[in-house]
Amino acid sequence: MNGLMLARRELFPNVLELNFQARRRFGCCVYLVFSGPDWLLLDIGYEESVDELIELIRQMDFPLAGCRYLVATHADADHVQGFARAKELLPGAALVAHPEAKKILESGDRIASFAEIPAQKISIDLPRLNFDRTINEGDTLALGNLKLEVWDTPGHAVGQLSFRMGHLLFSGDNIFRDGCVGSIDAHHGSDLPSFIASLKRIQSSGVEWLLPSHGPAFRNDRKLLQAAIDRLGRYQHMADFGTCAVDWPLLDEWEAELASGKAPG
Ligand SMILES: [Zn+2]
């Protein structure tokens, strides 16, 4: 270490978040977990910010050869677009994701990854990625003397992972500090019943802090989670999210009214 080393602003012991570190917003949250010289990144964000983020990491005196894993929480372009560039700068790191996220990104699926949303004229590059390993529910990512428990938490997207480390949960796009949840979109593989199951799991986990993929970390508050669970519970029976609903009671009512000859009023 030398006098020019940039001080690490730990969010929690052994955890940095690079927007928080830089005191400005690059994009999605990029968590750096470290143990001695070993470290990993959860998500990377857009390609345009990768060089700057890696330089920031270098200035904090992390050896670039110490990067063990580059982890995609899920296959959304705003979380993973930069991984191809990151792999060039960190060739020793293993790029890992859930098998479903790997499938989306290795096949270059531009719809499921949100790289292409024609109705909103969103069309961004999505460099093809090659994953070194898949990880799934029940696996552990070992890093020095730390262990990250891998949770499969689908709902916002298929193949969305969360990672538990003691009283912390890196919670992806399950829920944010204002109670919003990751976007619900059928083309994206969203599924309301599994989303609710993921939120219930987080709520009852005993985890104290949620470290989301967007916005600041916040407490795993029972009421905040319950409000989201209740809201998504209602969406299951509403037309608002189209084919993501499991049923639409209005159509049953209508059918009964049609059969009975009921007129408006
Ligand atoms: Zn996201």
Ligand 1 center to 9 CA (angstroms) = 23
- Residue closest to 149 by CA, chosen among 202, 213, 193: 202
Alpha helix positions (H), 142-248: 192-203, 222-235
Q: Which residues contact 248 (CB under 8 A, 6 or more apart)?
A: 237, 238, 239
**Which percentage of the chain shows pLDDT scores above 90?**
95
pTM: 0.95
Ligand 1 center to 101 CA (angstroms) = 13
pLDDT at 46 over 80: yes
Ligand 1 center to 143 CA (angstroms) = 25
Greater confidence (119 vs 232) lies with 232
Are the C-beta atoms of 163 and 126 separated by less than 8 Å?
A: no
- Residue closest to 211 by CA, chosen among 262, 263, 148: 148
Residue 99, pLDDT score: 98
Mean pLDDT of 30-42: 97
Mean pLDDT of 91-104: 97
Query: What does pLDDT average to over the chain?
Result: 96
What are 223's two structure tokens? 């009421």
Cα(174)–Cα(31) distance, integer angstroms: 16
**Which percentage of the chain shows pLDDT scores above 70?**
99
Ligand 1 center to 4 CA (angstroms) = 34
Ligand 1 center to 176 CA (angstroms) = 10
Ligand 1 center to 28 CA (angstroms) = 7
pLDDT at 115 over 70: yes
Q: Decide: residue 197, CB within 10 A, 0-12 exposed, 13-18 middle, 19+ buried.
A: middle
Q: Which residues contact 265 (CB under 8 A, 6 or more apart)?
A: none
pLDDT of 67-84, one tens digit each? 999 999 999 999 999 999
Residue 3, pLDDT score: 56
pLDDT of 239-263, one tens digit each? 999 999 999 999 999 999 999 999 9
Ligand 1 center to 79 CA (angstroms) = 6
Ion ligand 1: residues, CB within 5 A, are: 76, 173
Ligand 1 center to 1 CA (angstroms) = 35
Mean pLDDT of 6-31: 97
pLDDT of 164-214, one tens digit each? 999 999 999 999 999 999 999 998 899 999 999 999 999 999 999 999 999
Ligand 1 center to 253 CA (angstroms) = 37
Residue 4, pLDDT score: 72
- Buried b or exposed e, range 231-251, using 16+ CB within 10 angstroms: ebeebbeeeebeebbeeeeee
Are the C-beta atoms of 158 and 189 separated by less than 8 Å?
A: yes
Listed in order, strand segments (DSSP E) in the chain are 15-17, 31-35, 38-42, 67-71, 94-97, 116-117, 122-123, 133-134, 140-143, 146-152, 161-165, 168-172, 209-212, 218-219
pLDDT at 1 over 70: no
pLDDT at 90 over 70: yes
- Residue closest to 135 by CA, chosen among 101, 86, 175: 101
pLDDT at 236 over 70: yes
pLDDT of 140-152, one tens digit each? 999 999 999 999 9
pLDDT at 2 over 60: no
